Amino acid sequence: MVREHIDALRAGMRRRGALDALSPTIDRAVELDRNRRDTIQAVEERKAARNAVTQQVGQKKRAGEAADDLQKQSRDLGDEIARLDRELAQTEGQLNAILLELPNVTLDVVPAGGEESNSIVRTWGVPREGASAEPHWEVGGRLGLIDFERGAKISGSGFIVFRRQGARLVRSLLNLMLDVHTRDHGYEEAWVPVVVNRPSMIGTAQLPKFEEDMYGLKDEDAFLIPTAEVPLTNLYRDEVLPDSELPKAVTAYSSCFRREAGAAGKDTRGLLRVHEFDKVELVRFVKPETSGEQLELLTGHAEKILQLLELPYRVVRLASGDTGFASAHTYDLEVFAPGVGKWLEVSSCSNFTDFQARRANIRYKPADGGKPRFVHTLNGSGLAFPRIIASILEHHQQKDGSVLVPAALRTYLGAERLS
RNA sequence: GGAGAGAUGACCGAGAGGCUGAAGGUACCGGUUUGCUAAACCGGCAUACGUGGAAACGCGUAUCGAGGGUUCGAAUCCCUCUCUCUCCGCCA
C-alpha cells in the first residue's frame, strides 16, 4: 500500500515539515518492502516444491514402497523454508514497526507549516474583558468548588478534587452533554472501560509512538485510556460493518488519564493541565467519501455544547505541522478564559481518514456487494471538562463574586448560581 | 484463585495424520418450473499475500481461536497463550 502512494506520502510528510526527519525511514520502508516480496517468492517456491514431494511420499507409502530419498528431499526443503520464514518474519517485523511510526497524510484543505499557519475559521460569542475576571483557581477555591491541596495529597500534583457544587457541576456537565448528543445529535450512548489492552492502543495510534504519555498497568500489558476515543473506536476493531449502519455515531463519558511527561510548568496552573480529567467523547465511523462533511457535522455537535454553555469560542484549523499524528484534518475548539487571559483548547475534532481503520482493521461491506473497504473514523471531544469549568468560573463570574450558571445547566445543577 | 469442557467458513455442524479450502445443512445470490404467497429443482457463494494479465481471470502460498513443537506431511498429535461455558472459592 505504501509502495503505491510513496510520492503522496513524501509530499504529506513535507507538509508536516517532517520530510527531512522521515525521508530515510521511508527509503528504508521501500527497501524492506522489496526485500519482503523477494523472500516471499523464494519461500513459496520451496513450499510448492515440498508439497509436491510430500504428496509423492504419501502415494508411495500407500503403495507399500519406501520413500527415503523423497523424505530427505522434503526435509532439506523444510530446513530452507524455516530459514526463509525466519528472514521473512524479521523483515515484516521491521517494516511494520516503521509503518507504525509514520504519521497520517493531511488533506488538501490543511495548510502546510507549523502552528503559526493555523487559521481561525470562525468565532462565536464575545470574549469578556480580562481585567475584571478572577482566575478560576481563585474562584474555585473561594467558593469551595475545587480542592487542589487535597487532590495533590491523595494522588499527587495534577489531580483534582471537586466538592459540593463543584462536584455537582461535573455531574451536570456529563449529563447535559450526553443528553444533547444522544437526543439531538443521534449518538448511541456507551459506557466503556478505562483500561484497554495494547492492540487497542495501537489501533487508534496512541502506540507505539506515545507510550511515555500513557499510564501503564504494572502487572498487565494494559493502559489507562488518555481518551474514550480508544475504547469507542476499538469497539469495531477487526470487524466488518454493514453499509446500512454507516455513519455510525457513538458517544461516551469517561475519565481520561495523561502523564503529561515533559509538560511541567507550561500552562499547568489550576485546571489547565491535569493528569486525570473527565470528558465526553464523540466518535463516528463513516464511508470514506463522506468524511469531509462528517467532520463539519461532528465539529458542529461539539460547538453546540459551547453555545449552550454560553461560552465564547473560536474554531481553529490546524496546519499540517500542528495536526496530530493520526489525523488528516483537525479543528480545535478554543474557549476564552478571561481570568487567565487565554484561549483554551477544549476539543480537537479530527478526521483520521483510513489511518486508524487500517491499524484497527475496521471495514464496511459496500451495499453493491463489493469487497469490504476501510471506513473513515472521526472523533472529537464534546467536551473536555476541566477547561470548560475554568471558563465557566471565569466568564460567568459576577461582580458579587458568585458565578451565574448557564441556563442549559440549571436544572441539572439545581441552582442558578455557584456561591 | 481452583477444577473441568470447548473454540472449524455469515450461521449450524461433520472431520480424529496424506485423497480436506474443508462433508452436510441454513442463510444469501442467479436460474428453471408451478396461474399469486410458498415449495421443488439446478448452479454459485471465504480471505489475505505473492505472481502473471489492459481486464476477465489464471497460477502459487497461507489460513480450521493465536503462537510454537513433533512429522516426509497437521484442522487432526504435543506444549504455551487468549477467549467462551460449567462448578467451587472470593468479592462491590
Q: Quick: pLDDT tens for A110-138.
A: 999 999 999 999 999 999 876 678 999 99
Would you say the C-beta of A71 is within 7 Å of strand B? Answer: yes
- Is residue A265 predicted with pLDDT exceeding 70? no
Does pLDDT of A398 surpass 80? yes
- Closest-CA residue to A136 (of A271, A265, A335, A264): A271
Model pLDDT for residues A170-189, shown as the tens digit of each residue: 999 999 999 999 999 999 99
Query: A399-408 long-range contacts, Cβ below 8 Å, gap at least 24?
Result: A401/A134, A401/A139, A401/A142, A401/A143, A402/A143, A403/A139, A403/A143, A406/A308, A406/A309, A406/A310, A406/A311, A407/A310, A408/A176, A408/A308, A408/A309, A408/A310
* DSSP-assigned letter for residue A345: E
A345 is catalytic: yes
Q: Which of A69, A84, A76 has the alpha carbon at shortest distance from A49?
A: A76
Residues in chain A: 419
Radius of gyration of chain A measured on its C-alpha atoms:
27
- How many Å separate Cα A180 from the centre of its chain? 22
pLDDT band with cut points at 50, 70 and 90 for residue A5: confident
Q: In the predicted model, what is the mean pLDDT of residues A47-61? A: 89
Per-residue confidence band for A266, with pLDDT thresholds at 50, 70 and 90: low
Q: pTM of this prediction?
A: 0.92
A59 against A367, higher pLDDT: A59
Which pLDDT does position A220 carry in this prediction?
83
Residue A59's pLDDT is 84
- A241 contact to strand B (CB, 7 A limit): no
Q: What is the per-residue burial (b if ≥16 Cβ within 10 Å, else e) of A58-71?
A: eeeeeeeeebeebe
Our measurement of CA A85 to C1' B61, in angstroms, reads: 12
Tell me which of A309 and A372 has the higher pLDDT. Answer: A309
| Nucleotides in chain B with any atom closer than 7 Å to protein CB | 18, 47-51, 60-62, 68-69, 72-73
Out of A347, A348, A381, A391, the active site residue is: A348
pLDDT of residue A69: 87
**ipTM for this model:** 0.86
Angle, to 10 degrees, between the axis of helix A6-15 and the axis of helix A19-62?
A: 150
Confidence class for position A323, pLDDT limits 50, 70, 90: very high
pLDDT above 90: percentage of residues in chain A: 74
Q: How many CB atoms lie within 10 A of CB A82?
A: 11
For the ranges A28-32, A66-70, A347-351, the lowest mean pLDDT is seen at A66-70
Our answer to whether residue A387 is catalytic in this structure is yes
d(CA A12, CA A3): 15
Query: Angle at the Cα of A179 (from A159 to A403), degrees rounded to 5?
Result: 55
pLDDT tens digit sequence for A134-150 = 999 999 999 999 999 99
At A360-388, the pLDDT tens digits run 989 888 877 677 888 999 999 999 999 99
pLDDT higher than threshold 80 for residue A268: no
CB A379 within 8 A of CB A390: no
* The residue to which cell 494522588 is assigned: A155
Pairing of strands A342-351, A222-224: unpaired
Q: Which residue out of A345, A358, A373, A402 is catalytically annotated? A: A345
What pLDDT sits at residue A191?
93
- Cα distance between residue A353 and residue A379, in whole Å: 11
pLDDT value of position A132: 75
Identify whether A383 is preceded by a cis peptide bond (ω within 30 of 0).
yes
Q: Which pLDDT value is given to residue A3?
A: 77
At residue A88, what are phi and psi to the nearest 5 degrees?
-65, -45
pLDDT at position A260: 84
Predicted confidence (pLDDT) at residue A49 exceeds the cutoff of 80: yes
CA distances from A130 to A4, A146, A333, A402 (A): 53, 22, 20, 17
Report if CB A74 to strand B is under 7 Å: yes
pLDDT over 70 (residue A317)? yes
Torsion of Cα atoms, A362 then A367 then A372 then A373, to 10°? -60
Instruction: Supply the mean pLDDT for chain A.
Output: 92
Given a cut of 90, whether residue A329 has pLDDT beyond it is yes
| Cβ contact A212:A261 at 8 Å | yes
Q: Tell me whether residue A320 is one of the annotated catalytic residues.
A: no
Give the model's pLDDT for residue A145. Answer: 96
